[in-house]
Amino acid sequence: MKDSVMQQRIETFKAFGETLKGAKVYFREDWEVFYFDLQGKMFGMMSDQASQDAIITLKNLPEKNEELREIYAGIVIPGYYTNKNHWNSIKLASDELPDEAIKQLIETSYRLVYQKLTKKQKAEIEE
């Protein structure tokens, strides 16, 4: 995949993350990644540069993560720098997982983090 296409993909996922209620996506200097944030909790991180190594790391249920790793072997891998049961990293250079599928995975990750928030945190988002 060309870097220009991949850069567009990164922008697409960043913009999508920001459409989720209460979510912020910003460049985190100390990790050098785009950080997907919900009430101070991470629901994703993504490479900021288009390259063959660019990835997005997202949370999912452990059994779903296993299933995705089997179906997309070598493209969906255990989460980079995260708990391998709960997080997967997806290589953005491959288009085997289309943008819409990755958007669904971003939303799933967001929902899993949202569920763990306190009533007060959820109320702040819903206001």
User: In this predicted structure, what is the pLDDT of residue 27?
Assistant: 98
Share of the chain above pLDDT 90, in %: 94
Phi and psi angles of residue 90, each rounded to the nearest 5 degrees, phi first = -115, 125
- Sheet containing strand 23-28, strands side by side: 23-28, 33-38, 41-47, 55-59, 87-91, 76-78
Tens of pLDDT along 2-24?
A: 889 999 999 999 999 999 999 99
- The confidence band for 25, taking pLDDT boundaries of 50, 70 and 90, is very high
What is the SS3 assignment for 50? coil
State the average pLDDT for the chain.
96
| pLDDT number for residue 35 | 98
Tokens (6 digits) for 47: 């490479």
Largest CA-CA distance found in the chain, in angstroms, rounded: 44
The SS3 of residue 48 is coil
DSSP letter for 79, please. P
Q: Report pTM.
A: 0.96
User: What pLDDT, on the 0 to 100 scale, is given for residue 78?
Assistant: 97
Report how far residue 121's alpha carbon sits from residue 114's, in angstroms, rounded to the nearest whole number.
9
